Amino acid sequence: MTIKVGDKIPDVQLSLATADGPVPVKTGDYFAGKRIALFAVPGAYTPTCSAKHLPSYVEKAGELKGKGVDEIVATSVNDAFVMGAWNKDQGSDDITMLADGNGQFAEALGLTMDGSKFGMGTRSQRYSMIVNDGVVEQINVEAPGEYSASSAETMLGQL
């Protein structure tokens, strides 16, 4: 079952990418008491993710925070080292990277996709959501191969 507006996000362990290495976090604790703009990509360093998705949130971070977002979080079925390197290379200090290395978060949300055709295995679908104190306020799931609904620009229009 796919998560929907009004649902509480599932409580699973992710890895926070930090300069000192991965730090385990539970989503139930991490999302508590904050309004978070969360976006997910099929893979760090993949073409659309690097050319459009992450850059849209880097560029619009100030505007998102100006509309009541406490934190901007990116997630992907990658390890914390890859997510940290991607943020250092193409992201910014305004983006928090939460690695879903085993795909448990994507699976618990009901938002997985089969990337086997590209040698990627099970990955997260491309989506964005506003999570307020652990509850989904807004969710935007992309159609396969598309990029627009989950952009920072779309999210800004919804806030």
Place of tokens 């971070």: 61
Is position 5 within any domain? Answer: no
Task: Identify whether 125 is part of a domain.
Answer: yes
**Would you say residue 35 lies in a domain?**
yes
Q: How far apart are CA 108 and CA 92, in angstroms?
A: 28
CB atoms within 10 A of CB 26: 12
**For residues 43 and 125, what is the distance between their CA atoms, to the nearest angstrom?**
10
User: Which residue of the set 3, 36, 49, 98 is catalytic?
Assistant: 49
Residue for token digits 């073409």?
Answer: 47
Q: Does residue 1 lie in a domain region?
A: no
In this structure, are residues 24 and 15 in contact, taking their beta carbons and an 8 Å threshold?
A: yes
pLDDT in tens, the chain (159 residues): 789 999 999 999 999 999 888 999 999 999 999 999 999 998 887 766 566 778 889 999 999 999 999 999 999 998 999 999 888 878 788 999 999 999 999 999 999 867 777 767 677 888 999 999 999 999 999 888 777 788 899 999 988
Structure tokens at 54: 């992450």
> Residue type at 51?
A
Domain at 38, CATH number: 3.40.30.10
18 is catalytic: no
Cα–Cα distance, 110 to 72 (Å, whole number): 21
Distance (Å, rounded) from C-alpha 124 to C-alpha 13? 15
